[in-house]
Amino acid sequence: MEDQKQGAFKPFVPADKVLPEITVTSVTLGIILAIVFGAANAYLGLRVGMTISASIPAAVISMGIIRKIMKRDSILENNMVQTIGSAGESLAAGAIFTLPAIFMWAQESDEIKAPSFLTISLIALVGSLLGVCFMVPLRTALIVEEHGVLPFPEGTACAEVLLAGEEGGDKSKVVFSGLGIASVYKFIADGLCLFPSEIHWEIPALRTGFGLDVLPALTGVGYICGLEISSYLFAGGILGWFVIIPLISLFGADGVLAPGSDPISTLDSFGIWSSYLRYIGAGAVAAGGIISLIKSMPTIVKTFRQSIKGFGHKEQTIVRTNHDLSFSFVVIMAAALALIMWIVPAVPVSLFGALLIVIFGFFFATVASRMVGLIGASNNPVSGMSIATLLISTALLKATGHTGVGGMVSAICIGTVICIVAAMAGDMSQDLKTGYIVGATPIKQQMGEVIGSVAAAITIGGVMYLLNSAWGYGSAQLPAPQATLMKLVVEGVMGGTLPWALVLIGVAVAIMIRVLGLSVLPIAIGLYLPIHLSVPIWIGGLIKWYLEKRKASKETIERGTLYSSGLIAGEGIVGILLAVFAIIPVGGRTLGDVINVGGILGNTGGMIFFILLVASLIVFTVRKNKKAQ
């Protein structure tokens, strides 16, 4: 098609027209959203091991505030708000998937100290800025030259919201409705504790258990991901809890098998999951990440070649819509960040580690950018890439004499930076796609990403310390599944403590899934996480599938996505509020303890509230827009 060729596409705002982009309003609102969505995604990721792109809700909220409330009419200003705002959730995703491992080590040993606020902020800032640097030379290759080939679903959706004009304000009402309902629901469930947020039943006949977390964010995640991905997650849970756990219980009997320390017959389903199943899941997730990398290798090579070709290219006249940060600036900035990692004592990374970060960072940025171009930022396999990075970097550190406590902490820090780089590159590519469609100025968007990165990096340390003080990483409230997995990987490679038999069983499961032609990573994650998380996610996916099966309109499906985004944001924000309550002293107790009424409604109350929550998602999705009538 003619409009797919570079230079033939006509953006909404022509290149010769200049509109406000970086303004006091866009920067202020963007920073606020970066902090809010960063905190909300940090809580969500620590709770369930998954994060969701904030680009769409940020775009909708921006339209609602700037266009409807402030009566300002600048599509590029709105685009800048979502560009800055979405940077927060990407940075948070990278940080919370890895850094809590150091907090957990600090709880277990006096030899390791929890990372300081300065260390967390510097690591987060370096990773996010490297992600921006690496994405600059990739913009032309991925966004411009492959327009019409790579769909970048969330970037295109954001552009559609911005182009909708007056519709943006009405759509924001749907997001705020979901946010409000989820906030009240979360406060009732985990604040007042009227009913348990996790419902569980032991099934003695099968020697296992079953249940679900009756929380808003999980159902919202399922709706956004759709039935295919949510079914993969649920399938992994079924394999773990209705096949592997019963087999371990049946054949283990009264035996004590490492790494467990108690007779298997005395363990409930959660005990078997903790002692055995999660190691099998860890092996499956690690293998899934490596399989994803192998599949992406041709993409890495192709994109790297395209980027190198474009480095020395200079246009005679740089039009506004094709104006990027200069390559020389990007190189100098990347070199400076590498030096900071090496020289600044607050960042425990050696020169060798800094070089590993720069090399791995660019390659993983290319993988992340292309993969989100195909499947969206919410499905960016950041954790898989991080696991592969940790396996390789920890092995290299050990081989070069960087062992013990220092080597493990250094490995996690390297993994953190790479994780943030991949998350930032994936999110930024979606933002640049939105900007390409609406006619934004790339260099200003790249500056906006820097602004959002700085704001989120400064605050993420406080959020992480707050959550750790309230509940502690690795607890039932904050299991930090991805960080726990990273911790196991580093310990296993560095110290030989990983139960390799169980891990290799997980690897074999992942290979079997791949041989069957199924998607490995989501099934592996479902195997690794408790089934209680995948059940509500699957229910959310079923709702979306039902609407699509009934041939619901595109507008109806989109309302469900917006409402689900509100559910996720609302639970995450109240989760942060409850964390504050958990550390406020009141008469020898905490405020969180004072308002806790002790689950008086029980499992039945939880199921009733969850049914009402699911009903609210259906109602807000299928109801007609009054303006459209």
515 in any annotated domain: yes
Close Cβ partners of 338 (under 8 Å, ≥ 6 residues apart) = 354, 355, 357, 358
* The CA-based dihedral angle spanning residues 599, 605, 607, 612, taken in that order and rounded to the nearest 10 degrees: -120
19 in any annotated domain: yes
Query: Once rounded to an integer, what is the mean pLDDT over residues 449-461?
Result: 90
Provide the pLDDT for residue 20.
Answer: 86
CA angle, corner 16, sides to 11 and 21, nearest 5? 75
Query: Once rounded to an integer, what is the mean pLDDT over residues 213-227?
Result: 85
Q: What is the pLDDT of residues 247-278, one digit of tens each?
A: 999 888 888 777 777 888 888 888 898 888 88
Query: What is the rounded distance in angstroms from the CA atom of residue 120 to the CA atom of residue 459?
Result: 10
Q: How many CA atoms lie within 13 A of 245 on its CB side?
A: 32
Both tokens of 332, joined, read: 């100098």
Q: Which residues pair with 210 in a beta bridge?
A: 201
> Is the pLDDT reported for residue 408 higher than 60?
yes
| Comparison of pLDDT for 494 and 69, the residue scoring more | 494
Query: What is the rounded distance in angstroms from the CA atom of residue 471 to the CA atom of residue 322?
Result: 47
Q: What is the pLDDT of residues 284-337, one digit of tens each?
A: 877 876 776 677 667 556 655 655 665 555 544 578 888 888 777 888 898 999
Both tokens of 157, joined, read: 């959706």
Query: Once rounded to an integer, what is the mean pLDDT over residues 138-143?
Result: 78
Burial of 349 by CB count in 10 Å (0-12 exposed, 13-18 middle, 19+ buried)?
buried
Mean of pLDDT over the chain? 82
Query: What is the rounded distance in angstroms from the CA atom of residue 440 to the CA atom of residue 13?
Result: 7
545 in any annotated domain: yes
CA 559, 564, 567, 568 torsion: positive or negative? Answer: negative
Q: What is the pLDDT of residues 547-566, one digit of tens each?
A: 988 877 778 888 888 888 78
210 in any annotated domain: no
602-622 vs 554-581: helix axis angle to the nearest 10?
Answer: 140
> Is the pLDDT reported for residue 506 higher than 70?
yes
241 in any annotated domain: no
255 in any annotated domain: no
Provide the pLDDT for residue 612.
Answer: 95
Q: What is the DSSP string of 460-509?
A: HHHHHHHHHHHT-TTSSS---HHHHHHHHHHHHHHHS-S-HHHHHHHHHH
Query: What is the rounded distance in angstroms from the CA atom of residue 385 to the CA atom of residue 292?
Result: 8
Confidence of residue 50 (pLDDT cuts 50, 70, 90): low
* 3-state secondary structure string across 73-99: CCHHHHHHHHHHHHHHHHHHHHHHCCC
Query: Once rounded to an integer, what is the mean pLDDT over residues 436-447?
Result: 90
236 in any annotated domain: no
Look at residues 492, 483, 528, 579 and name the one whose alpha carbon lies nearest to residue 95.
483
Query: What is the rounded distance in angstroms from the CA atom of residue 298 to the CA atom of residue 44?
Result: 33
Structural domain including 148 reads 2-204+218-228+265-312+323-628
Residue 310's CB is within 10 A of a number of other CB atoms, namely: 16
Amino acid identity, residue 374?
L
Number of structural domains found in the chain: 1
> Is the pLDDT reported for residue 92 higher than 70?
yes
Both tokens of 105, joined, read: 């080590």
Beta pairing class for 585-586 and 589-590: antiparallel
Close Cβ partners of 337 (under 8 Å, ≥ 6 residues apart) = 126, 129, 130, 133
Query: What is the rounded distance in angstroms from the CA atom of residue 35 to the CA atom of residue 58?
Result: 12
Which residue stretches of 55-187 are H helix?
55-62, 75-96, 100-108, 117-135, 139, 153-163, 167-186
> Is the pLDDT reported for residue 479 higher than 80?
yes
Kind plus residue range of the DSSP H or E element containing 211:
strand 208-213
Q: Which residues pair with 209 in a beta bridge?
A: 202
In 3-state terms, what secondary structure has residue 272?
A: helix
Buried b (16+ CB within 10 A) or exposed e, 409-420: bbbbbbbbbbbb
233 in any annotated domain: no
**What is the separation of C-alpha 88 from the centre of its chain, rounded to a whole number of angstroms?**
11
Q: What is the pLDDT of residues 180-195, one digit of tens each?
A: 999 899 999 988 989 9
Provide the pLDDT for residue 31.
Answer: 93
